[in-house]
Amino acid sequence: RGEYSKDADVSGDSIITSLDALMILQTTSAGCRIAVGKYSVDVTDTIPVPIRVEGGVDVGALDLNITFDPTLLSVKSTQNGAFDSTTINPEVDSGVVKVVAYQAANTGINGSFTVAEITFEALKVGESPLDIEIVTLTDSSPQTNHLDHSIYNGTVTIC
């Protein structure tokens, strides 16, 4: 038996098992998924849009931008998600919401979780993209290793 390694215990159960190995392999081969959904609303409706991580393993920090059409959508409010610390900065005129989130006191987050939620108001008929750009996505190790990921952009269709 070898020594216990907190970095290898990605399931967070204080033991290293084949589950930890499987979670590491899944992350290194496919990575996690960063996603927003597709929505259909009426003019003047508000729609909460969660930004989600699916299949995350030891996610320690995430810096992203989500872009939208500011002639069709207006940011009404924002809400933090699962991270210890989150800063959400809507640049409403340019159609960008910047989200910086990280684990300050706790270990990295595993599984599926919400990073942040943005509530939009639909201004007029049209279709706005909800495009995600990942600036940084790292694990919680002191080395802040890059995490592979895929992006699933969304849309808001306003009728």
Over the chain (159 residues), the average pLDDT of each successive run of 10 is: 68 73 59 94 97 96 97 97 96 92 93 97 98 96 93 96
Q: How many CB atoms lie under 10 A from the CB of residue 9?
A: 18
**Domain of 127: which CATH number?**
2.60.40.680
pLDDT of amino acid 30: 60
pLDDT of amino acid 31: 85
pLDDT of amino acid 5: 72
Looking at the domain assignment, is residue 20 inside a domain? Answer: no
Centroid of chain to Cα 101: 9
Looking at the domain assignment, is residue 6 inside a domain? Answer: no
The span from the first CA to the last CA of the chain, in angstroms, equals 62
Query: Of 46, 68, 64, 57, whose CA–CA distance to 19 is shortest?
Result: 57
Looking at the domain assignment, is residue 24 inside a domain? Answer: no
pLDDT of amino acid 112: 95
pLDDT of amino acid 14: 75
pLDDT of amino acid 3: 74
For the entire predicted model, the pTM comes to 0.80
Looking at the domain assignment, is residue 2 inside a domain? Answer: no
Looking at the domain assignment, is residue 13 inside a domain? Answer: no
Looking at the domain assignment, is residue 21 inside a domain? Answer: no
pLDDT of amino acid 11: 65
Domain hosting 144: range is: 32-158
Q: Are 81 and 50 in contact (CB under 8 A)?
A: yes
Looking at the domain assignment, is residue 84 inside a domain? Answer: yes
Looking at the domain assignment, is residue 131 inside a domain? Answer: yes
Q: Domain total for the chain?
A: 1
